[in-house]
Amino acid sequence: AQTVTQSQPEMSVQEAETVTLSCTYDTSENNYYLFWYKQPPSRQMILVIRQEAYKQQNATENRFSVNFQKAAKSFSLKISDSQLGDTAMYFCAFSLPSSGTYKYIFGTGTRLKVLA
Partner 1 sequence: KAGVTQTPRYLIKTRGQQVTLSCSPISGHRSVSWYQQTPGQGLQFLFEYFSETQRNKGNFPGRFSGRQFSNSRSEMNVSTLELGDSALYLCASSLELAAQGIQYFGAGTRLSVL
> Which residues lie near partner 1 (CB under 8 A)?
33, 35, 37, 42-47, 50, 91, 95-97, 99, 101-109
In this complex, which beta carbon is closest to partner 1, that of residue 75 or of residue 91? 91
Return the number of other C-beta atoms located less than 10 Å from residue 82's C-beta.
21
Task: Please report how close the Cβ of residue 38 comes to partner 1 at its closest, in angstroms.
Answer: 10
In this complex, which beta carbon is closest to partner 1, that of residue 101 or of residue 116? 101
SS (H, E, C) 87-110: CEEEEEEEECCCCCCCCEEECCCE
Task: Please report how close the Cβ of residue 97 comes to partner 1 at its closest, in angstroms.
Answer: 4
In this complex, which beta carbon is closest to partner 1, that of residue 37 or of residue 68? 37
Q: Do the beta carbons of residue 69 and residue 52 sit within 8 Å?
A: no
CA distances from 100 to 28, 65, 71, 83 (A): 16, 30, 25, 40
Task: Please report how close the Cβ of residue 30 comes to partner 1 at its closest, in angstroms.
Answer: 15
